[in-house]
Amino acid sequence: GQSLEQPSEVTAVEGAIVQINCTYQTSGFYGLSWYQQHDGGAPTFLSYNALDGLEETGRFSSFLSRSDSYGYLLLQELQMKDSASYFCAAESGNMLTFGGGTRLMVKP
């Protein structure tokens, strides 16, 4: 089966840096994606890692260690609009299996 674990909630202040961790156990693992979802909205794609290392996209970076079955999403210069839920998702074949999501609350 597939399972992904991530913290349920994280709180940080505006301007700070926050890291959301994700550990996974999947068969046929291909890569790890991250999605953002605002309350009442649809999940939207943030980043993808197939190889070990760091991928940077503006204020957001994502890291993968295949040997440790571990990844994280790093959000820098936090803004109030970053308050949302963040999901890691393991790709296996053409299918995505999602973690339970981390609710990020950014405070002023």
Partner 1 sequence: DAEITQSPRHKITETGRQVTLACHQTWNHNNMFWYRQDLGHGLRLIHYSYGVQDTNKGEVSDGYSVSRSNTEDLPLTLESAASSQTSVYFCASSDGAGGTEAFFGQGTRLTVV
Q: What are the φ and ψ backbone dihedral angles of 70, each rounded to 5 degrees?
A: -145, 145
Nearest residue to 74 (alpha-carbon basis) of 66, 40, 64? 64
Which structure tokens are listed for 21?
Answer: 């961790």
Using CB under 8 A as the binding rule, the residues of this chain from 24 to 43 that contact partner 1 are 30-31, 33, 41-43
- Residue of the chain from 24, 72, 90, 99 that contacts partner 1 (CB under 8 A): 99
- Residue of the chain from 38, 100, 105, 107 that contacts partner 1 (CB under 8 A): 100
CB atoms within 10 A of CB 33: 21
* Interaction of residue 97 with partner 1, rule CB under 8 A: yes
Could you list the residues that contact partner 1 (CB under 8 A)? 8, 30-31, 33, 41-45, 48, 50, 87, 89, 91, 94-101
